[in-house]
Chain A
């Protein structure tokens, strides 16, 4: 591994919900953990997110969804990532996501989804562990 290798994460707010407190807190926490964080801003469509993920060659896409649209948005972004040849990217996220839904999404190849009250440390550790195991050449 090159000494310059950084974990690159795209933090995205898909959909129309404007609650970005969680996204901003996690983006800052990721930066403080030494990651390079690309923040997309609000109101992103799945296409915008995937294009950004591809161009930025990120290792991880982290989406924050509080609008209840997670069952539509996560699978859509996952499908577009695969289509774009970015199936090596970890798609994870957080928000108001019932456990049953998270389980269903995990079954579709989506990573861990963090609910309310998660500590940023847990999310950082999760990304670090995943990266250690999956770092692409």
Chain B
């Protein structure tokens, strides 16, 4: 639309061309008005025409919607080129498909290790570790607060010993591993690095990602330990350590997923995530790091929800906003720093407990949106996840869904195939505008941390969640099998995976054994040194690595840090 492809040799030609375009648009305007009259004369279906984010979408988009848009080169461009709207890489899926990475973990390290080997055998190309709640909160399996939750929603990892078992027989120099952990991320990361050492793999060849995005924990997911300032220090320490010792490792995955799952709209997910990302960049720069030394390793993680086109536009807009911010606001020189690379996961909240097989279809559409949006890796949810942890069969179907998409559908052949669609381009622009407006609101509140402390993010997300709930309960928004097209008794017939209560027992005895076996003096020494380091300003990674190697437990390390850092308290708001 905004390109003029014909050769223009003279100004006369140009003037003629411009006139021609203007005439064409004027004519379109007239015809569009006629069409609108005809359209308006027929009553619409009794349905909600806002999308799931509450966004008004029009019935028709035309070149007229793009008259004010930026030029093609400026706003859209080519894949692998600024502003990366069409994709972070030049060749995209022509040279390398997205990484099919299924999040998995349950029970003990031993059992999860078995599941990983199974997934790798079935063609999965990367691992993604799900930890149990005690681990996510920095508690050992034998801590009283872990009661009933050990190994239930993920794998229990309380020390280097568990981490060694988790990757037993899995070559960490070859497989890239993503770990979903935030509050105690720096500790689990050190367990991982130490486990690789035991395999003879040095940190500089490790590939993978640790989520490590604490800001969204305060905003949405709530697995926090320390207050924001010390928590952000840990993150910057990891940026700094990884930039020299583990240059292929992503020390953060800035995540919109949990923000969206907590009820945010697509625009909120986009804005909050990117603003969090910029916050990390600012913190790194403030700590004296060169932006180009760490920014290339920042990675992202977005949700892919039900509204097909909005999700595609969201990923396109994310790349463009990030590139512009990094280059123009933070002065990054390296294109690697401008390039937003993302993992995506289909929307867990969109799954229904009723008629769970329908979830396979939902997941497939969402996966298609992720691919058309140009994701670098993808997790597809299993149909039974609203009922319990996924069974092996459900996980296999989810993985096969990606494989059918990648190998049969043909969508991988052409890069960013929806570019140029009047609708998708308009929506991409609109999402960018919405995000920038939200950035301004956050800045007016004094920045990300003050806005967290006053509960602003949490309130914004909660009111969006409330709106969606109301629409569903009022029957305005149809959820198939839930508020329409229901079936019979609603009895759910599907196998669910159960975690044996003996897991907790097993973990307890493992812990007791470990506490016996290790060198108590070395544990004491490394923990004391860590507490001292927390008091000062030195990088904490080497200290925590020492603790990990001495088989200090997760909670011991957390506790040694907490003595100086204190713990975060939930703000009160509704």
Contact = CB atoms under 8 A, between A and B. Distances in A.
A25 B465 contact: yes
Contact of B223 (A18, A28, A68, A117): A18
A27 interface: yes
A117 B492 CA distance: 13
Contacts of A72: 147-149
A52 interface: no
A64 to B, nearest CB: 12
Nearest to B149: A69
Contacts of A120: 469, 473
A25 B469 contact: yes
Interface in B140-174: 145-149, 152-153
A68 B152 contact: yes
Interface of B: 133-134, 136-137, 139, 145-149, 152-153, 217, 221-224, 261-263, 352-354, 386-389, 462, 465-466, 469, 472-473, 479, 482-483, 491-492, 496, 499, 570, 572, 574
5 contacts: A16-B133, A41-B572, A96-B386, A96-B387, A117-B354
Contacts of B462: 21, 24, 28
Contacts of B491: 99
B149 A45 contact: no
Given A16-B146, A16-B149, A117 B479 contact: yes
Contacts of A116: 352-353, 386
Contacts of A25: 465-466, 469
B158 to A, nearest CB: 14
Decide if the interface of chain A is mainly helix, strand, loop or mixed: loop
A80 interface: no
A108 interface: no
A27 B574 contact: yes
Max count, chain A CB within 10 A of own CB: residue among B217, B389, B469 = B469
A51 B167 CA distance: 43
Nearest to B389: A68
A121 interface: yes
Interface in A56-98: 67-69, 71-73, 76, 96, 98
A99 B223 CA distance: 28
Given A96-B386, A96-B388, A98-B388, A16 B137 contact: yes
A43 to B, nearest CB: 7
A45 B262 contact: no
A17 B133 contact: yes
Given A16-B145, A28-B466, A117-B354, 8 more contacts: A16-B134, A16-B146, A19-B221, A21-B263, A42-B222, A69-B133, A72-B148, A96-B386
Contact of A45 (B145, B387, B479, B492): B145
B133 A117 contact: no
B469 A15 contact: no
A24 B469 CA distance: 12
Contacts of B133: 15-17, 67, 69
Given A24-B462, A116-B386, A19 B153 contact: no
B152 A69 contact: yes
A12 B289 CA distance: 43
Contacts of B224: 18
A120 to B, nearest CB: 7
B477 to A, nearest CB: 13
Contact of A17 (B153, B483, B492, B570): B153
A28 B470 CA distance: 12
A55 B389 CA distance: 36
Contact of B262 (A17, A21, A68, A71): A21
Contact of A67 (B152, B261, B492): B152
Nearest to B183: A18
A2 interface: no
A69 to B, nearest CB: 4
Nearest to A15: B149
Contact of B222 (A18, A27, A68, A71): A18
A19 B386 contact: no
Contacts of A69: 133, 147-149, 152
Nearest to B385: A96
A20 interface: yes
B245 to A, nearest CB: 31
Contacts of A68: 149, 152-153, 388-389, 499
Nearest to B349: A21
A7 B483 CA distance: 28
A133 interface: no
